[in-house]
Structure 1
Amino acid sequence: MLMRTRAHRLTALLAALCALVLVAAGCGGRQAETGQEAKRITIGYIAWDEDIAVTNLFKVLLEEQGYQVTTTELEAGPVYAGLAQGNIDLFLDAWLPETHSDYWKQYSGQIEDLGVWYDQATLNIAVPNYLTDINSIADLKGRSGQFGGVITGIDPGAGLSRITKNNAIPQYQLDYTLQTSSTTAMLASLEKAINEHKPIVVTLWHPHWAYARYPIKDLQDPLGAMGQAEEIHSVGRAGFSQDFPQVTEMVKKFRLDDQTLSSLENAVNSAPKGQEAAAARKWADENPQVISAFAPGQ
């Protein structure tokens, strides 16, 4: 009985100490932006090239303002869950209202919408230009043998994958399987097919640097299965704007047009692995008028 009593006392003491540590940590991380703990920001991102580009841009700009920035690559679902749980502070690539609609319905009440920075985002199915007799998604019907019965896609958790599988394939009655893996794998397959002048059909989206690099075209979508042009939003965890008012103001002023975003994407995604942030810094130096519009003093 004595040992059980001591054990209970020890457990209670440990619990109390843990509570004090958590409270202290919470107070340190939620004070004004001048506190060292409060200067730590975690940005979650998905493996979409525009997100890689803008995440690295914000990383270098915020670090130059004294923030300690951690970037974490995840699929879209875990990013939204991380925001809702407070483990991720910021996400710069929320596609609304359609692509990320499932996540938005589940988590929007637990996160903050910080505004739109791009408003012409589209989801597409694309083929090389040399496939001159295929100009519509409908033209793919009955020709699956030419493409090995496969539409080459990106990561399975992407909204683009969901919409292609659940909307485009059944609506156009296509006898194809959506082959998912990653954006990198899809682009490698696309480049290989083009180099060999072979047929391939891929899932792709605007904005993306692939349209400038490869001879490809979007297929017309007369049924509207891929949805209309969307907006890309920046979102933060609950309380983000209160905890980081200066960063919030910067995020809300952030805007890029097609040409500027393509330039940034090309710079960052053409950089050697591990040099993406350096490429973003160089791009920022070369585009001061863009940076000064949302990050004064840079």
Structure 2
Amino acid sequence: MRAPILGVMACLALVHTPAEAAGKQVRIAYVEWADAVVATNILKLALEEKGYQVKTIPLAAAAMWQAVATGDADASVAAWLPVTQGAYYEKLKNRIDLIGPNVTGARIGWAVPAYSSLNSIEDLATKASEVDGKVVGIDPGAGVMKSSEAAIKAYGLKVKLLDGSDATMTSALKDAVRQKKDVVVTAWTPHWMFARYDLKYLADPKKSFGEAESVNTLARKGLKADMPEVYGILEKFKLTIQDEEAVMAENEEKGAKPEETAAKWIARNRATVDGWLK
């Protein structure tokens, strides 16, 4: 009888293995914004140190929130609140677990090169011709684009908001700085362009872009009970704007790989990461 018993035990071991493996899988959703790429890769490597298999899922902002709400993703560290992604939070707040900020002091608005004579959005009412009557934007539907449309209306500006992407916006900024020309771009902090170029935000007395923002960590309902160790790491996961902008700038270098720059940051900040993993 001994051989059959051993055979049954072996089968049970095989049955348990996939379940145990599934318990070590973590799915992180993120928006492919430069700051979210940095944060997500750093978190991925940190979780892998604890033996987790981490899958990162790039999505549009609305889909990212939806994925966490439905449980298709376990977490995200790319939720901008209260303005940029506030509409998604209002719609889904009862279906997600908002853990809280992982980066504070974030903001959105319009930025110009530091040498620009423009200092306030109000200046564009009389100086729009200095920027060819244009504000260079990113993808339509983004929070900063909706706020930009509100600003144009609130200040009564005769400027055109150009749709594009993060890449086309930063390319326009690069060209303008190289030629010492003026340009207005949609901007947010943290972003690598603030580490690369000397820029300033235009004052926004009407608060069209709101107050200071934070980047937040989201988790699916039930994660705390299912994976308490992961949840604990998410609660402790924090970065500074300076950290993110420095790594973002590294990622813009030719041949850079986000996972490698994340690994370098972890090596430079070992004590911080160890604090998350305790």
Tell me whether the two structures share a fold, i.e. TM-score over 0.5: yes
Asked if the contact 1:117/1:254 (under 8 Å) is kept, the reply is yes
**Residue 8 (structure 1) aligns with:** none
Distance 1:180 1:206, change over 3 A: same
Aligned residue pairs: how many? 263
Q: How far 1:149 sits from its partner (Å)?
A: 2.5
Identity %: 33
Contact 1:114 1:233 in 2 (8 A): yes
Amino acid at match of 1:140: L
* Offset from partner CA, 1:56-92 (integer Å, 9 cap, x none): 1011122232222121222211111112222122110
Q: Counterpart amino acid of 2:74?
A: D
Cα RMSD (Å): 2.0
User: Whole-Å Cα distance in 2 between the matches of residues 268 and 252 of structure 1?
Assistant: 26
Correspondence for 2:181: 198
Find 1:282's aligned residue among 255, 259, 264. 264
8 Å Cα contact 2:193/2:249 also seen in 1: no
CA distance in 2, matches of 1:39, 1:208: 32
Match of 1:42 among 6, 24, 27: 27
Whole-angstrom distance in 2 between the partners of 1:28 and 1:41: 17
Q: Deviations 1:141-182 (Å, cap 9, x if unpaired)?
A: 1333332332111222321111111x2111111112221221
Q: Which residue of 1 aligns with 2:159?
A: 176
Identify the match of residue 170 of structure 2 among 187, 203, 212.
Answer: 187
Find the aligned partners of 1:87 and 1:152 in 2 and give their Cα distance: 34
Partner of 2:130: 146
- Does residue 226 (structure 1) correspond to residue 221 (structure 2)? The answer is no
Gaps of 5+ in 2: 1-15
In 2: Cα distance, 1:42 partner to 1:95 partner:
19
1:129 and 2:111 correspond: no
- TM-score of the aligned structures, taking structure 2 as reference length: 0.88
Residue pair 1:137, 1:221 contacting (<8 A) in 2 also? yes
The alignment partner of 2:93 has SS state of: helix
The equivalent residue for 1:263 is 246
Looking at structure 2, the residues matched to 269 and 295 of structure 1 have their Cα atoms a distance apart, in angstroms, of 29
Provide the secondary structure at the position in 1 that maps to 2:219.
strand
Q: Contact between 1:142 and 1:175, CA under 8 Å: does it hold in 2? A: no
Could you report, residue by residue, the CA deviation over 1:19-50 in whole angstroms, capped at 9, with x for unpaired residues? xxxxxxxx999x7xxx2112222211112221
TM-score w.r.t. length of structure 1: 0.82
SS of 1:175's equivalent? coil
Aligned-residue offset at 1:262: 2.9
Distance (whole Å) between structure 2 residues aligned to residue 160 and residue 222 of structure 1: 17
Contact 1:53 1:269 in 2 (8 A): no
Change (3 A) 1:107 1:65: same
Counterpart residue identity of residue 219, structure 1:
L
Return the letter of the residue paired with 2:243.
T
| CA positional deviation for 1:269 | 4.5
SS of the residue aligned with 1:95? strand
Question: Secondary structure in 1 aligned to 2:67?
Answer: helix
Matched, 1:163 2:178: no
8 Å Cα contact 1:44-1:90 kept in structure 2: yes
Amino acid at match of 2:225: Q
Q: What's the secondary structure of 2:161's corresponding residue?
A: strand
Counterpart contact for 2:104–2:241, Cα < 8 Å: no
Give the one of 222, 226, 232 matched to 1:249.
232
- 1:7 maps to what in 2? none
Residues 230-249 of structure 1 show CA distances to partners (whole Å, capped at 9, x for unaligned) of 22210012212222211110
Please point out which of 102, 106, 109 is paired with 1:117. Answer: 102
What displacement does 1:111 show?
Answer: 0.8
Q: 1:67 to 1:271 in 2, by over 3 A?
A: farther
